[in-house]
Amino acid sequence: MRQLEQAKIQKEFRDLNLDRSRARYELEMATNFGDAMTQQSAARLFSARTEYQLALAREQLAELTQNLAYSALAPKLAPKLKQEEPQ
């Protein structure tokens, strides 16, 4: 009788322990996913800031040298500049 009761208690404990381990695993996965998303957002922000700073530096260089070849916008503005030129 005692062994049967012990087996029942041990089974219940193992079931609860499995549920607890599964919950911890799922929480860990959610935490890792959240961390990955945060790190991805930080990397995208860093990339956008870097591209902006580079474009700003190129525009400053183009302005200081009066040379549109240094401009980050020159390829985009070139068709517009050609259209605006008087013929």
Which pLDDT score is estimated for 33? 84
pTM flag (> 0.85): no
Which pLDDT score is estimated for 1? 80
**Mean pLDDT to the nearest integer, 5-12:** 92
Structure-token pair, residue 48: 């956008």
Kindly report, residue by residue over 25-61, the tens digit of the pLDDT.
Answer: 888 888 888 888 899 999 999 999 999 999 999 999 9
What dihedral angle (degrees, nearest 10) is formed by the CA atoms of 40, 43, 44, 49? 160
